[in-house]
Homo-oligomer: A and B are copies of this chain.
């Protein structure tokens, strides 16, 4: 059993698709096999929009009845705007990565992706990314705007109280997302 560790930005960022593709062995690699993932770590800053994106991803995993645990790793910064914030992000993500884990740098700021990738290689973890088709990217952005007004219903899903928003959340799933094992 390994962990999937993903950087998260202001949009769901493809981590659900990465997870699904990895556990189904449906990814680009010389020798793809089904990956057994027990925990998903979502690395996020304290930014309000990023917090909302975390809720969406967590709710989507609940709607899809995924048994793996989804855990948020909060980095105590609102963005990477200087060297100290970069180092803090880099050091905190390092502590979470184990040998053989999968690190997905698809979501979040570029400096976050770079920090995650560098630390994945140091830890001898696998580096993955998921390519989201441009047309889907635009569709998801529009869907995100619609969901901004439905935070109460999203909280209901997170509390397992009322899953009625699930059909709409499922529309966040990217069609044709391809996952690549880079190293």
* A110 neighbours in B (Cβ, 8 Å): 105-106, 110, 113, 129
On whether A82 and B28 interact (CB within 8 A), knowing A118-B118, A118-B121, A121-B118, the answer reads: yes
Q: Select from chain B the residue with minimum beta-carbon distance to A131.
A: B81
How near does chain B come to A94, taking the closest CB pair, in angstroms?
14
CB–CB A182/B83 < 8 A:
yes
Interface residues on A, range: 20 to 34
* A182 neighbours in B (Cβ, 8 Å): 83, 86, 111, 114
> 0/1 per residue, A109-148, Cβ < 8 Å to B?
0110110011001000001010100000000000000000
Q: Measuring CB to CB, which residues of chain A are less than 8 angstroms from any residue of chain B?
A: 28-29, 80-83, 86, 105-106, 110-111, 113-114, 117-118, 121, 127, 129, 131, 178, 180-182
Closest 4 CB pairs of A and B: A114-B117, A110-B113, A83-B180, A28-B83
How near does chain B come to A76, taking the closest CB pair, in angstroms?
19
A selection of 25 A-B contacts at a CB cut-off of 8 Å is A28-B82, A28-B83, A29-B83, A80-B131, A81-B131, A82-B131, A82-B178, A82-B180, A83-B180, A83-B181, A83-B182, A86-B182, A105-B110, A110-B113, A110-B129, A111-B129, A111-B182, A113-B114, A114-B114, A114-B117, A114-B127, A114-B182, A117-B118, A118-B118, A118-B121
